Amino acid sequence: VTPAVTRAAVQCIEEEGLETSIRVAAAQAFRQANCFRPAVEKLVDIAVRPAFDTEVRIASYLAAVRCAEQEHLEKIIEKISKEENTQVRGFVLGHLINIQEGSCPNKENLRYLLANVVIPTDFEKDFRKFSRHIDMAYYAPAFGMGAGLESNIIYAPGSFIPRAVNLNMRATVDETPHGIAEIEH
């Protein structure tokens, strides 16, 4: 991602006059991009800023966390631990705990960075009312194989109908992840 593309995408994410779906799509543009520190820093800033919509914050967090370094994770945990928006708080903290406890090889660096970090667990966990990241995976290092199912359920504050739901199924062979299917609504 070039500096110009980063500026344009971040400007789109921060533009309050745009529809939430467009702002979320701008954040998701970073999901498959190479890690670029200035972009990660901007995305983390958006994710921890309460003024932004829940969906925009969570999408920015998801785009940033895959490239996050220790200081980014510390900032996220510090700010989100005090977060009043229960949707953002539960999603982000739950996601970080899932990474910490998971076995997926492509998240090994994040797991290492989170190894000695205490992540608060005092958040709402009922996925029928609160935003959640669900990750079920098994990886067998002896065989170099594994499979996983990951899902994000995102609600707006005060709503009991999810604003966004996605499901991602993957397989890992010889430590190389392969996407099997992804469904998003």
Q: What is the mean pLDDT of residues 41-56?
A: 96
The answer to whether residues 10 and 33 touch, using CB atoms and an 8 Å cutoff, is: no
- Which two structure tokens, joined as six digits, stand for 55? 């969906």
Q: What is residue 58's predicted lDDT score, i.e. its pLDDT?
A: 97
pLDDT tens digits, one per residue of 84-130: 999 999 999 999 999 999 888 788 999 999 999 999 999 988 888 99
CATH of the domain at 64: 1.25.10
Q: What is residue 74's predicted lDDT score, i.e. its pLDDT?
A: 96
Total domains, the chain: 1
CA distance 47 to 43: 6
Predicted structure pTM score: 0.92
Q: What is residue 44's predicted lDDT score, i.e. its pLDDT?
A: 97
Return the H-helix or E-strand segment holding 44: helix 37-47
Q: Which domain holds residue 37?
A: 3-184
At 102 the three-state DSSP class reads: coil
Half-sphere exposure of 4 (CA within 13 A, CB side): 0
Q: What is residue 66's predicted lDDT score, i.e. its pLDDT?
A: 93
Length in residues, the chain: 185
Pairs from 26-31 (Cβ < 8 Å, separation ≥ 24): 27/56, 27/59, 27/60, 27/62, 27/63, 28/59, 28/62, 28/63, 29/63, 30/1, 30/63, 30/64, 31/62, 31/63, 31/66
